[in-house]
Amino acid sequence: MEIQNPDSDSCFPKVKYWREDVLYQFQGFWFLPRHLQGTKQVLDQFKPLPNDVILASFPKTGTTWLKALLYSVINRPSSINQLVTNHSHELVPTLEMQVYGRPVANSPPGHFPSNTSSSTSILSTHIPYQILGETLNSSDCRVVYVARNPKDTLISLWHFENAMYLGQKSEPQPLENIVSNLCEGTVVFGPYFEHVLGYQKESLERPDKFFFITYEELKSNPITHVKRLAKFLGCPFVGEDMETQVEEVVRSCSIETLKNHEVNKSSDVPSWTMMPYDAFFRKGQVGDHMNYLTKDMIERIDAITRKKFHGINLWGENWM
């Protein structure tokens, strides 16, 4: 991968990540050069409107799935056809990668259908609250944040980053390396724990503006939480057929359904990333880390999770 040197970022702390990749530290968080460029543009230019909905997340925590759910809830019932023919990331573009980020060289032009048929624009970001908070608080926009168990997040990120170099027939990134990176905080948009805590704290203090949900609770009871989500967004399910409406949204946005759409099985690479569309859908399972992590790796991650999330029980008693 070609490393693009940020315009004036040579003075920022940097670390070697994997292969040719370097991470730059900006306001306490780590970014790939292209993501840092996009983030700075977001901070300089993005002015959220009162009706905007922003999906915030750490990478590989359910972003693609939540994009489909948000789009479907806000634009029902016409959203179903859009989800069949458009990838979730095209329907809900990412601020620092698609809206303001620089296109990746040698990729075809990006395609953006109308984001929404309503007066609400839906956007997403991986930028931490500690950096983006002032921008988000400049309007009455609403923010949805999804968090995922760090061990499953790590495995999903590991597969995703390995897929980036699949065409080069390279060796996969050693799993122990990314475990160390997660625990030390030197991952893309990391530290992971501070990323989660930034938005989680705001959701407790201002639940009318920040909606916090975990991937695991949404997977375990999608009907209940989609109703909560719709109410938070100001478009609750109503009428005698309310339950049918909710069930249709959940069905049309299930990971199994989305994975089977041709657009999501495409090997096309959009302009805003180096990854084909089909790389954004894998298993989507809870607990998949058990198939990969050793006992020592699990104990290491659990120890730092207990330390960082002390007194905060995000995943119930059995999340370990």
The residue whose two tokens read 């009455």 is: 140
Candidates 137, 172, 141, 139; CA nearest to 157 is 172
For residue 289, indicate whether it is catalytic. no
The b/e string for 154-178 (b: 16+ C-beta within 10 A; e otherwise) is bbbbbbbbbbbbeeeeeeebebeeb
Q: Which amino acid is at 266?
A: S
Which residue among the candidates 126, 195, 261, 289 is catalytic per the annotation? 126
Cβ atoms of 49 and 139 within 8 Å: the answer is: yes
Pairing of strands 53-57, 210-214: unpaired
Enter the tokens of residue 31: 């970014």
Contacting residues for 237 by C-beta, under 8 A, at least 6 apart? 227, 230, 245, 246
**List of long-range contacts for 49-52, beta carbons under 8 Å, 24+ apart:** 49/121, 49/139, 49/141, 50/139, 50/140, 50/141, 51/119, 51/120, 51/121, 51/141, 52/120, 52/121, 52/122, 52/123, 52/139, 52/141, 52/142
Query: Which amino acid, one-letter code, is at 291?
Result: N
Q: Are 28 and 111 in contact (CB under 8 A)?
A: no
| Residue 144 structure tokens | 């949805």
What single letter denotes the amino acid at residue 19? R
Q: Is 231 helix (H, G, I), strand (E, B) or coil?
A: helix
In sequence order, which residues have a C-beta less than 8 Å from that of residue 162 and are 6 or more positions away? 172, 173
Catalytic residues: 126
